[in-house]
A and B are shown apart, each in its own frame.
Chain A
């Protein structure tokens, strides 16, 4: 297990370096940054000065190395737009997005896994059919529309939930529901298919032959094996939720990472874009490590030397 953990960490570090290069390249590839920063009215001298101040006249490798060096010291640069420290900007907004992501992920998993297990017990039964129908709806309805419907229902008609902002826990209910609605179909299908597959396997027959209770068979013997793909996908989905909740954040006016990235792109605020890409990517990589470790804990075949 120890060696496995170390190996996964080294792999993750290598991926992070690669990601940082790509994040750096992405911004470089958008054109001459000095011209973009200076704007339309900038004179040639202004542009040259900008180039010098921001080190844009150096070689590409030098630029990358000095940028990477600053990043390692926690200096992600300053926003071109507000001149604020980028790291502070991100850290201010990260909790909002993280709360939203965790809440919606947990909500999605808590509903979809038991539902998937129950579907798998009686495939093609009325419950299974209804869940599959719901999951088609979940995939077909865009999240901004679901969000608006929720606002109409709970915010406008019943007036029981706040429709925007982050003042209280209640503010997170509707955004989380919207995102959970979005991840529900994937988890439902995975856990349902996994359970159907595992329930027909030989070792489940063995467990039944031992006369164990149906609950033990389902939750001790079947679920542990069936849940493996759900774990892998859930961590990746979590990454998506962190970076991709832009739509939901704007519908509910949540001041999160998604909204920050969106406005930074619109304003060509490259340090912010670069930092968001880098941080979300690193979180993504770390989540994958977590997913590998969770899988290893669930499935002993992954780590043991044979």
Chain B
């Protein structure tokens, strides 16, 4: 494959942002090329410059940012001399882009059809509106949207997230671009929808011979779609190569450490994840040396000098002062994965620490001033038991009722019927203060769940003050100890949340949840807002604290890998019900319910739903199985008879035809 066949070839791209504190080198010396029909994944954590790179390629950088490249070629166009304006001519025509947030990326005030045709008509003024509309219909159909014509007159708010992302893709393809840049295209979507969107992208790529640059932090996505991979860290490409090379035999110390942090199919509740110490350095006024050296176990004096990119066998490149062979000989994981000791009572007859009995939750909604009242069925009969010291993982897509259940478990919202018991006592009978000492929450977004006007120490101490536990001195000592246990340096005590990183904030949230020594911790998506390496740190911390305090956990997540890495037992939720429950190893190894199989990507070839599907309406739950509409194995019985959770192998599943 020679270089001139590349759709895009960039060498030494630099993006500098001018800040009041000095120049911020967001992207430095990034070289990449992508060919027609090929997918290049740019993978990295936040602050790695991956989004800046893609915005630079689109000419969409913010005004304060200056891009520069020694070589920039797109197909037959040499754009090196033209700078930022040269690429603007191709934008939206030859190069198209899709973004992360389908919920906000479409203009709420214009119809889908108008937004689809306007770009094409701008670039090809000779086309009539009818021709452009015909193409829009054709592309919506190609993007798996059933009955596309009436969709054109709909507005974005009338479509679900998955449908909007399909519309975004169709819109990007209107001008038949040569290159599609996708910036985290599935990050905001559920696992099953994300799989459909990625499959769609691959399918379209094959048909249209598209070159795709996909920017992501998610190694599941990379594994699914990448032909070649660039790993970026602090604005530099630290390693690049084919998918097999980078994922199979990673060379650079950063790639290795990062991959060890990703929870994979080997992870379980009893082992720790990998560990990447430290944080991403400030990129303002940074030097020209290796940016990773402060966190690297192999760093030496030479790393402060500019590091050239070295090409190893088969075009795998690394940016490191050491050769791949040297690294292979000397690299050790910073901390070897250690076993976690946790005691779960084996006595199945013992009273569960937390028990849920037939919990139903409904919300009243009213449509319009004179509209009829309706009921949203959020939870439709949940039965659960969590033993002392056990971690129960709750997994499901958005709208499955996970967070509603969490609120019921915390006792902050009484269910419409059924009850939640803590150590055999109904939670509704426990007064607020006592409840707070039994069960505590950790929420998803540490950016909004901490009071910005309270220091770290005040935040953690607050519960002790409210419950008037100990003398002020004792409280201070206890807060210090808890900060230490949660990996918060003592010097951060006087910091405000705004001065802390996301991972540190989540540590503060955990410390303040644990300060009352609750028996049960309800973690609702505790790591969804964090980077992979930070996620590993937080999950390891939770594993350690579990052993330290004999905690009983409920872990709620949409991320199966997180659930797998944390949970002893797992319950899969769908549409307000538990559809499968059992020990983690059984359930992940041999799922029984087709929905679990779908989540795990274990449905057989041809069974995967290709078209966008309609979810059941929470205002009118179906008479039969709620999953029947999406189920490849559904039969006549499923539409009439609602299956109950029954024994299926070592676990239980709510399915008439378990695997």
Contacts and interface: CB of A to CB of B under 8 A. Distances in A.
A202 B119 contact: no
Given A202-B101, A210-B119, A212-B119, A301 B108 contact: yes
A205 B118 contact: no
A300 interface: yes
B105 A205 contact: yes
Given A203-B105, A203-B106, A211 B92 contact: yes
Nearest to A209: B97
B104 A202 contact: yes
Interface in B354-383: 367-370
Given A3-B368, A216-B122, A306-B158, A209 B58 contact: yes
A201 B122 CA distance: 22
B219 interface: no
A300 B109 CA distance: 6
A210 B155 contact: no
A72 B609 CA distance: 64
Do most interface residues of chain B lie in helix, strand or loop, or is the interface mixed? loop
A62 interface: no
A93 interface: no
Interface in A1-44: 3, 7, 10-11
B99 A221 contact: no
Given A203-B105, A225-B108, A299-B109, A210 B158 contact: no
B135 interface: no
B549 interface: no
Interface in B92-141: 92-93, 96-97, 99, 101, 104-111, 118-119, 122-123
Interface string A289-305: 00000000011110011
Contact of A7 (B92, B107, B155, B368): B368
Interface in B34-56: none
A225 B109 contact: yes
Contacts of B107: 203, 206-207, 221, 225
Interface in B51-106: 58, 60, 88, 90-93, 96-97, 99, 101, 104-106
A208 interface: yes
Contacts of A167: none
Nearest to A300: B155
B157 interface: yes
B104 A203 contact: yes
A210 B122 contact: yes
Interface in B160-177: 168, 171-172
B158 A211 contact: no
Contact of A211 (B108, B122, B168): B122
A238 B414 CA distance: 48
Interface in B253-287: none
A203 B108 contact: yes
A211 B123 contact: yes
B157 A212 contact: no
A225 B158 CA distance: 17
B105 A206 contact: yes
B611 to A, nearest CB: 22
A201 B155 contact: no
A202 B184 CA distance: 14
Interface string A215-228: 01000110011000
A193 B108 CA distance: 18
Contact of A205 (B60, B90, B93, B111): B60
B93 to A, nearest CB: 6
A295 B88 CA distance: 34
Contacts of B93: 211
B158 A208 contact: no
Interface string B441-485: 000000000000000000000000000000000000000000000
A210 B369 contact: no
Contacts, number: 84
A82 interface: no
| Residue with the greatest number of chain A CB neighbours at <10 A, chosen from B109, B111, B119, B368 | B109
Contacts of B109: 221, 224-225, 298-300
A213 interface: yes
A304 B155 contact: yes
Contacts of B108: 203, 225, 299-301
A119 to B, nearest CB: 15
Interface residues of A, number: 28
A7 B123 contact: no
B7 to A, nearest CB: 17
Given A7-B368, A221-B110, A210 B104 contact: no
Interface string A107-148: 000000000000000000000000000000000000000000
Nearest to A204: B107
Contacts of A202: 99, 101, 104-105
B10 to A, nearest CB: 18
A138 to B, nearest CB: 29
Contacts of B99: 202, 205-206, 209
A15 to B, nearest CB: 14
A212 B105 contact: no
Nearest to B97: A209
Given A210-B119, A216-B122, A225-B108, A306 B60 contact: no
Contacts of B367: 305
Nearest to B367: A305
Contacts of A208: 60, 91
| Residue with the greatest number of chain A CB neighbours at <10 A, chosen from B101, B107, B108, B369 | B107
B122 A213 contact: yes
Contacts of B92: 209-212
A207 B91 CA distance: 11
A210 B106 contact: no
A211 B168 CA distance: 15
Contacts of B60: 205, 208-209
Contacts of B168: 206
A304 B91 contact: no
Contact of A304 (B96, B101, B104, B158): B158
B106 A304 contact: no
Nearest to A222: B107
Contacts of B105: 202-203, 205-206
Interface in B289-308: none
A304 B112 CA distance: 14
A234 to B, nearest CB: 18
A299 B110 CA distance: 8
B91 A211 contact: yes
Nearest to B158: A306
B118 A210 contact: yes
A213 B99 CA distance: 20
A304 B154 CA distance: 10
A168 to B, nearest CB: 42
B122 A212 contact: yes
Contacts of A221: 107, 109-110
B132 to A, nearest CB: 13
Contacts of B111: 300
11 contacts: A7-B369, A7-B370, A203-B104, A209-B60, A209-B96, A209-B99, A211-B88, A224-B110, A225-B109, A299-B109, A300-B111
Interface of A: 3, 7, 10-11, 201-203, 205-213, 216, 220-221, 224-225, 298-301, 304-306
Closest 10 CB pairs of A and B: A211-B92, A210-B119, A210-B92, A202-B104, A203-B107, A211-B91, A209-B97, A300-B155, A202-B105, A224-B109
Given A11-B369, A211-B91, 7 more contacts: A202-B99, A211-B122, A211-B123, A216-B122, A299-B109, A301-B108, A301-B157
